[in-house]
Every structure is written in C-alpha cells, then in structure tokens.
Amino acid sequence: MKGDIDASLILDDKSSKHDEDELFILTNEAVARLDSIGINDSHPWEIYYNQLCSKNEHNLLKNITLDHIQLFRNSSGTTWWKEKRSVNKSKNKRRKLETSDTIPSGPFALYSVISKNNNCMQLTPIYNEVVANDRFDLRIIELNENSMDILNNGKVVNEDHPIGDVICVKKLQQKYDNESICFDEISFEDTKNGKLFWEVSSFFVLSRDVFENVITSPYTKEQNNFLCVGSNFVQIICLPKKIAPKETKIDTLLMASIFVPRTTHGRFLKLLKRDYREEVVNLCADPLLIEKPSPIVMKARLAPLFVKNIFDNFNNAFKNSQREAAYQSLKIVVQHGSIGIHSIKNQKIDLTKYKTTIKTYEVSKPYIYFKFLLTGEKTAPPIEKWNRSARIQISNGKETASADILSVKQSNLILEVKARSFLHPTVEAIFKIFKEKSLTVYQKPDFKPRIVDYEIKEGTNSDRLIQAIYGGKPLKLPKIEKIPPIKFGSFVLLEKQTRYVQLMADERISALIGSSSFGCGKTATIAASALYSSNINPKSIQIVTAITNSAVVALIEKIEQLKQNVSLVRIISQNNMLEVHPDVLTKFDYPKMLEDLLLECLKKESESSDDFYKHAFSYLKSRSIVPDLTSFSSSIQKIYYSADEYDESFLLSFFMMKKEPKIIVGTVQSIINAFYTNWNEYSKDVCTIQIDESSTLPRESLLHVAFCFPNSRISFVGDHRQLAPYCEKESSPLLRNTAVGNFLEDSKNLLPSVFLNRVFRCRPEVTKILGDLFYNSSLISEHRKVETEDRLKKVAALQKYPIIFIDTKKSSQDQVGTTLKNIKEAKMAKELAEKLLKYIKKTDIAILCFYKGQLDEFYDWSRKTGIYVGSVDSGQGREWPVCIICTTRTTSMKNCQFMIDNRRINVALSRSRHLNFIFGHKSILLVSAFFHIILSTAFIFVSMRIYCLSAQQFLTNIHIFFPKNDTILKISHILLDGEQGFVELGLRIDDSIQVKNALYSFILASIVLLSQISVINFCAFRAHQSVNIGSMSEKTRQIQRQLLIFLVAQTTVCFTCCSVPVAFCMISLFLKIDLHEIGILATSCMAWFPMLDSIILFTCVSTYRNALKNLLKRKKPENSIVSVGNASTTIG
C-alpha cells in the first residue's frame, strides 16, 4: 500500500444533526495537511473538510484511487469523527499518493460486473435498496469519463475489470439515515480451513473473484490489493488477493469485527483490548507477521454494542412511547438482519458457470430426470455447494429453466450430478437439442433482500401489532358474546373454532394468534373464517396465506368444499408456475385466470377498446399464446401485429373489475411481492389476513406483511411447539433472533390467542403421548375411525397399532459430508413400503428421514414407486395414513441437538393418521428423554434379531390380518425388562429379513444342540471304556443299566418339552403354521418339565422307586450299600 494508516478513529456521541449525508474523502496527505493547520481534535470531520476548502486544499479530494482512500460517512448526522494521533510521531510522514482511476465526488453507488461479452460488460446494482435506494434516480453512471444508461440494457464499453469487480459510480443527491458503529472486543484467530469470517455492521463484504455481493474496488496488478468500503466504514481494508479466498463469507452483518489494515511489509497490525464503547480500533507498532497463506481471522467475542443498543433501544422506545425513534431503529435492525441472512445463503452458492452436456435423460411425467458432469480446471467443483438443497439453472443460450439436484458423486475433478425438472415447454425446448449443443449449468443466487421502507400511521392495526411484539403494550382479548356453532352446509365448527372465526370478524381485534396443535382442523377453521368475514363485509377482500404451496392448495380445496362458486384468486408468479409440482397448480392461479379472461373478452369485440386490445395482445404474445385472428377486423389485426408491450397495472385493474375476487390466496412471499408492486393499490381493501404455518414465519416476513397491510386484522395460525423458521446454522444468535426468530413462541403472551386443542388426525394413543410430552396433557382426541376409509380396511394393523418400532441395531451409519446415511435401514424401509403397497395406495405412504443424506438412498426407488420421500422438516404441515420414519443414526447422540429436538420429534410423529413405523437404534435413541417415553409406549417392538424365550416374563400373541389371499401376519412378542416394548419372533411384513433371521437362528440352535449331543456321546463312550465290566457284580450292572435308562429318558423329555417347541417357533415361517397353539403347548411343556424330570428318576431307578413305595406305605426303608468298583453308594 502506498500510504499506510497509523491513526485510529474515536467515536463521539455528542453531535448535532445534519439534513443530508456527506461523503468525506481524505488521503493520508490531506490528514497531514490538517495536522499542519492545527485543527483541535474535538472538531468533527466536516470542520476539517470546510477548513481544507477555505485554504484551497480541496483539490486533494480529487483524482484519488480507490486503493488508498478513506471513506467517512456521516450517516445520520449523530456522529462526529475525530483523529487520534499516532503514538510514534516519527511515523506520521505521508508519502505522496499516485493517482490512477478516479472516484466521483459526492454521493456514489456501487455496481458489480456480472458478465463480459466482446467489448461490453453487464453491470448490476449491489444492494441498491441500501446503498442507493430504489426511490432515487440511478440512470446516469460515470466511469472513467464514460457514461452508461442503466435502463438501456446496462452496458458500457469494456474496461479491464474481471467478473466480480464492483465499480464505484455516481448517484444523485439523496438522504439516507443510518446509525454509526462501534467495535466490541476483537482478537486474532488462525483457521485451518482457510475461511474468513467478515463480521461487519451496515455494509457488505465478500471475496472478489466470485460473483457475490462484493463491495470492492477494481483489482490492480501493481499492488495486488483491493478495497472494501461501505456506508459506515471507518477504516480501509487492504488485503492481498491470496488472503481473501473464495470461501470468504459474511457470518453476520450484525457483528462488528473486521480486518485491520495491512502494512507495506505484509503485516497485520495487532489490536489492543481497550474500551471499545468509545475507541473504535487501536493500532499499535507491534506487528503480527503472516508466515503462511492461511488468513488471520478476527472474530467478535460478544455482540457489538451498536446492534445491541439499537435492539434494546427500540424496545424501550416503544415502552416509552417514542414511536418514531423505535420505528427508525426497527427498520435498521430488520434491514441488517435481512441482508445478513441473504449473504449467508449466497456464500453457499457456487456461482461458476459450467459448460457441460447432458449424458442421459429420462421422461417420467411430470418430471424429466437427467445426468450431467461438472469438471473444474484445477480443482473439482465444490461438492459441498452442489448438494440436494441447491437449485440450479440450465440454459442453452436462448431458454433457461430451473432444476433440483437429486444426488452428486465425485470422482477426481469431476462431479456427476443427477437432477430433475418439471416437464414444461421451456424444458422441452432445452432438451430437444441437448445432443447438438452444450448447455450452461449454474446456481441461481439470491442477492436482493427486501428492505422495509414503509411508514405506518399511528393507531393502525399494524402499529398496535408491532408495538405489542417489540416491547409496547400487549394486545388484550375483547369480551365477546358466545354465539351458536357456525355451519357451512353439513360442516359444523366446534366451540373454539367458532370463537376463532368470531374474533377474526370483530373490528376490535388488531391481531390474533390461532394456537393450533397438529391435525386440529386449522385449515378448515381458516377457510371458514375467510368465508364468514367475507359474508359480513362483502365489499372487502380476505387474504389467506401459508408458507408452502402445498398448504395453499389445501386451503383452496377446503374453501371450495365449504362453499361452491366462491370468488377466489390465487397469486403465483409465472416463474413459480414453471418450477412447482403440477399437483400444486389450481384453476384459480392468477396468471392462468388472466389469460383465460383475456381470451374470453377478445371474443366480444364490441365490448373492448383499442387500449385493451393493445395490452391484451402484448400480454398473450409474451406468454406465447396466439389467439384466433380470423374473427377480428383488419384494424384490430393491425393492433395485434404492432403490439409489443403491455401495462401490467392496466391488465390487473381490468381483471379486478371483471372478477371482483372476495378471497385472495397465496404463499406469504407471493402476497408480499404482489402487494409491494402492482397489487399495492388494493391493500386498503383487505379486511383480514390469515397466515397458516406461522410457526415457520420469519420476523422479516412478518414485518413485510404488517407494512403492506397497515389497516388489516392479521391472524397467525400455527404451532410454536413444532419447527421454528429455518435459519442458516452459520448465523450468529443475534442475527438469528432479529431476522428470523421464533415469532409465534415469543408472542404467545403478547397477542390474544385461541387454542385449538381437538385433534382429528392422529390416533388417540399417539395424541395422548404427544399431548403429555409437548402440550401439558391439554389435547383432546377427535380421531375418526379408519373404517371410514375403505381402502385402508385391508390392513388391520392400521386399526390396532399406531406405533411400531423396528430396532436397527445391526446397521451402521456412513458419514456423507455433514450429513449421514444408513444403507441397511434404507433397504428395510423400502422392503416394508413395498409390502404395504400391495394393500394401500402409494399416496397413503410417506418416508420421512431425519438426515438429508439418507434421502439419496431412496432416489431411484422413489422414482419407480411414486412414494413420497422427504426430510422430517419438509413433512411439516402435511399428513399421510402411514409414515415410515428413518432416524438413521447408530452412534452416540451426545451434543447432537438436531436429533433430540423436541419440536422435530413432535413433527415426525404427528404426520401419520393411523400408523407410524419408526426405524432406529434403540439404545442410541433412548438417550433422548422424549424418544425413551415414545419407545416405552410402542405397541409393537420389532428387533432385527430373534431373541430366545428364556428372557421372557410372559408370552402373548398379536394377530394382524391381511384378508387378501387369506394371509395372516402373526407377531409373537415378549415383554422386556419392564419396558412396554416388544421383541419379534416372526414378522411377515418383511419376508426377506424374517427368513434370514429365522434361518440364522435355526442354524445357530441346531449347531448348539448337535454340540451338546456330541459332548454327551463322547463322555458316555469314554466312561464305558474306563469301566471294568468283568469285575462288576450283577447288582452293579443292574444299577448301571437303570441309570442309563434314566439318562436317556431325561434327555428325551428335555428335548421334547424345551427344544422341540423352540424349534417349531423358529421354523414356523417356513412351515406357515399358526404360532398360537405352539405357544400354548410350549408354555405347558416348559411348565411340566421339572415335574416330569423327577417322575422319570423315580420310575427308572428301582432303588428310588422302592424307597418311594415304602414312603407311601409309611414304612422306614432299609439301607443298602452297593459297591461300584472302588466306590460305594448308599441308596435310600
């Protein structure tokens, strides 16, 4: 670096406000001139600036390279910056700066180079909502005396800027308020994986050379440095290119740790621990050398005072009725949180565009499955970024479509990727010529977080809602009179459902929580509430939203079921229509309804104007829809051929006038996106908004809804005892709490609520277990019997056994990146599901996995069978008659909060209406208190091995009937050690496993039995050889003969009473016989065995027999002494 920085900046809170932002650009030479001027340290930087201008020193502010400038931004006018001189004054000498590229004076904007083509390059704004807000005019951009028009394709003559560079350009004057930052304790840490964690406040930093949200100056070959800047930045960051690898990422924008400037000798300046409340950063002369390419990382130990103060301040501001200050702080926190979350998502994306060809593809409607290879130049593409959760784009140069990755395998520098896409015309056009032309494959980034920029009037519903959840007055439930149950045809609402509907129609309600347990009929309740409110206010609009498209479709179906011919519209973007499963598309989708309406109205020529024809034809052309022109006049045909653009607002107004929708449905994001833009003028007509699946609603989305609909009554329906909103694990706790959080749980005592506690979905036994574990025993079962579903009557197990556990003790897990898989468990689950398919439909079965790595084992199999396979998290909000749950893990769950998360366990077990099969390692799962209780109440416990009967406490039998082919599934089980679990003796649901286990057990028992017989025979033979028969008396021979008969009889009885019943149990699978009778016989035989043993003794040995007779005759038996060889035995 030409001129290194050796002064730190100190924050001073005592300042006056300024009307506009000001940009201070001072070189080290300018600071030296200030020293000569003798300005007092207490003056703010603007005085320095004015003094410079008064002494004709303002030329120093021109022609300054981005590689060695300081940017000081007085954002809100509440901060004064002052200089602290270096301890070593001899180092205050500044070198004269050389100039190259220029930075425009005045406010600026930043644009990133995203592509280069021939002599032009494509630019895109970097977070222009923050750095240069959308409200400001950004048309003219200055770059090295060349200008460009953003609205005209955004192209400019090529300069020597690689893709990923950010170009500093001029923007028009504007006001943008923001707070200042201060640093907390910072320390050095060395990392092994070469990753950098940039933890900064109010600006955005990432590695260059990667198309991400980078803010940096053009890279210069001479200095090998680049500069990272931002709106509240207080120091230059100059790093060698090698110090910022591609793995550089933002951990959170709510923290305040940064890199210290590098000296000209390649050293980092060490930090000293000081009072960081006032001192931003202190540089000392003791350098820390960089001896290896691994970067030095500074990570904040605590949350920065800046963010913590703001977060606390706006809570206190609401409490103290400081409304404007609170909203200002709230916007800042949400803004930072939103950008931080999106930044963390983006760093997980590989933005390299790969050229490849499709190796194979297969059409299986509604999907097309295909495989392609990715090859890196020097290193393999990052496999951790090409995983199942990645969404990819495929392009042939003209058409672009989205696809989902299903599996990835790595071999040297090559990744083999299997993916699938929905079959639609765009995809067909791409694959039609895939053999003739290579395709471009890349991942689509998510660069633009939405920034809250709405003003909320005091006293509105949204104002009361936000104040309640952020420290103001909690909202109270008004008193209402009890009304009779509400009916929609044959559907009658229960008491609490009626209360919820009644409250949502009450104008005194600003916000409401519908606290719903699993399977409590919340979908029907929401639909009934929308219809009821629509009947009361026929001129208003009711909005019904959910987080997922599947939940939206369920809401639409329920609304249709309750009321036919309802005026309903579902908002979904055209892009989403091409990317979602056809099953989640409906006849109410707005783009499709608009197309149908336009085609219908075009037939009525007399009723339409020229403007209508112009916009309608243009819209249909953009959708590649060609109307029949033969019925139109020549003048209208001319309009068709000349039409090239349409006004979406005009078409929307036309649609709303014709259809007059009473209920609007869509995902939360679709509703927000629509009402932030063209639909905004209709927000004033929205009466109620109901948000289903609110337990997964991020705080960011909640605030967007509140800002969009300030006068609407908002209801949050969900279960805070189930999974919270997803947040990247790399996020810091502060970022997680401010941007994502768990709003429903945090607000349960702040907003009025109605608890829907009657469960219709799960079996009463499961409802009781989960109710006791997670709902304080407050759930009431209203389960409908399985007989109502005829197709499920074939499986009597669904009527008897809600939980069946299968122990996978013999299986083992495999590590796949950061996730796990268990091949043997997957095989067992597949075989079980295939057996069930003989009796129920594929749509009645779901396989839910705790680990995403396990999903790869079901990839091909799921395609063939059509059975749903997904993660436990993806199953939230859905239900099936039968669920097969794969826990996968076979090693210790110590420090594994993921598996023992009570909310995830609750979701997993509450998806099934009738039967849960749980695969898992019993001893591992019992570590979790929740799993321990669930497994101890399992109705059938199936083990992978056959246990002997000696461990029994008592024996019983269970019969599960499959009427088809008169097959009977028989499970004999025994109670284990006081736990209410059971061990398998025979299970025909999975023949291959049972046959294998039965065969192994039979072979093992046979080997043991043959070994015993061999030992007995060998000992008898040796005993016979050792006895001197010639020297025996007749009496001794008689005794020996009796003993031999006794031993043979005793062995026969033991074999008959013990070994034979056990052998029959083992081979019952092959003989296909009923175990019931054998079980009774075996129990009786083993009970009689001790007595039979004694009877044989007295029967076979005459001496004992005579003694018994004498005893029965009450005579004293005579003693007789028998000599056997050299020994004597007394038998009495």
**Strands of 400-411's sheet, edge to edge?**
354-356, 439-443, 391-395, 400-411, 414-422, 367-375, 358-364
Please report whether residue 892 resides in a domain. yes
Contact 66, 168 (CB under 8 A): yes
Q: Are 289 and 373 part of one and the same domain? A: no
Q: What is the pTM of this model?
A: 0.62
Q: What is the CATH number of the domain that holds 900?
A: 3.40.50.300
Question: What Å distances lie between residue 915 and 7, 642, 836, CA to CA?
Answer: 69, 62, 12
Question: Do 642 and 726 have their domain in common?
Answer: yes
- Residue 850's pLDDT is 92
Q: Provide CB contacts within 8 A for 594, sequence distance 6+.
A: 619, 651, 655
> Residue 860: its pLDDT value, please?
82
Q: By CB neighbour count within 10 A (0-12 exposed, 13-18 middle, 19+ buried), where does 348 fall?
A: middle
Q: Looking at the domain assignment, is residue 875 inside a domain?
A: yes
In this structure, the strands spanning 511-516 and 753-756 are parallel
For CA atoms 1086, 1087, 1090, 1093, give the dihedral sign: negative
Tokens of 777: 């025993």
The span from the CA of 1106 to the CA of 1098, in Å, is 9
- Cβ–Cβ < 8 Å for 643, 670: no
Could you tell me if 637 and 782 lie in one domain? no
- Residue 275 C-beta-side C-alpha neighbours within 13 Å: 4
Does some domain include residue 1?
no
The residues of the chain scoring below 50 in pLDDT are 1-307, 786-788, 943-993, 1117, 1119-1132
Q: Which residues of 88-116 are buried (b: 16+ CB within 10 A; e: fewer)?
A: eeeeeebeebeeebbbbeebbbbbbbbee
Give the integer Cα–Cα distance in Å for 478 and 464.
15
What whole-number distance in Å separates Cα of residue 305 and Cα of residue 310? 8
Asked, for residue 185, whether it belongs to a domain, the answer is yes
Same domain for 75 and 121, yes or no, is no
Same structural domain, 593 and 524: yes
Rounded to an integer, what distance in angstroms lies between the CA atom of residue 125 and that of residue 582?
Answer: 35
Q: What is the pLDDT of residues 1045-1097, one digit of tens each?
A: 777 777 777 777 777 777 776 666 566 555 556 666 667 777 777 777 777 77
For 649, the token pair is 């607002």
Would residue 320 count as lying in a domain? no
The Cα-based distances of 277 to 198, 312, 336, 613 in angstroms read 20, 16, 20, 65
The verdict on residue 337 lying in a domain is no
How far apart are alpha carbons 973 and 981 in whole angstroms? 9
Residues 931 and 820 in one domain: yes
Distance CA 845, CA 867 (A): 6
Overall domain count for the chain: 6
Would you call 1119 exposed, middle or buried from its count of C-beta atoms within 10 A (0-12, 13-18, 19+)?
exposed
Cβ 163 vs Cβ 214: under 8 Å: no
Q: Please say which residue of 303, 332, 362 terminates a domain.
A: 303
Other residues' Cβ atoms within 10 Å of the Cβ of residue 712: 26
Cα 98 off chain centre by: 51
Tokens of 324: 């404007």
Indicate if 657 and 796 belong to the same structural domain.
no
| 564 lies in the same domain as 653 | yes
Indicate which CATH number applies to the domain containing 393. Answer: 2.40.30
Same-domain status, 125 and 82: no
Question: Could you tell me the residue range of the domain that residue 560 belongs to?
Answer: 483-759
Which of 836, 846, 881 shows the shortest CA–CA distance to 989? 836
Residue that finishes a domain, picked among 744, 759, 774: 759
Q: State which of 759, 782, 805 marks the end of a domain.
A: 759
Residues 50 and 151 reside in one and the same domain: no
Instruction: Give the per-residue pLDDT at 312.
Output: 60
Query: Are 240 and 282 contained in the same domain?
Result: yes
Is residue 781 helix, strand or coil?
strand
Tell me if the bond preceding 1090 is cis, omega within 30° of 0. Answer: no
What pLDDT is stored for residue 1009 in this prediction? 74
Distance of alpha carbon 212 from alpha carbon 205, whole angstroms: 9
Same domain, 160 and 149: yes
- Specify if 996 maps to a domain: no
Radius of gyration of the chain (CA): 39
Q: Is 1113 exposed, middle or buried (0-12, 13-18, 19+ CB in 10 A)?
A: exposed
514 domain residue, yes or no: yes
The four Cα atoms 769, 773, 776, 778 give a dihedral, to 10 degrees, of -30
CA gap 1098, 1107 in Å, rounded:
9
In angstroms, rounded to a whole number, what is the distance separating the alpha carbons of residues 177 and 78? 10
| C-alpha of 1062 from chain center | 49
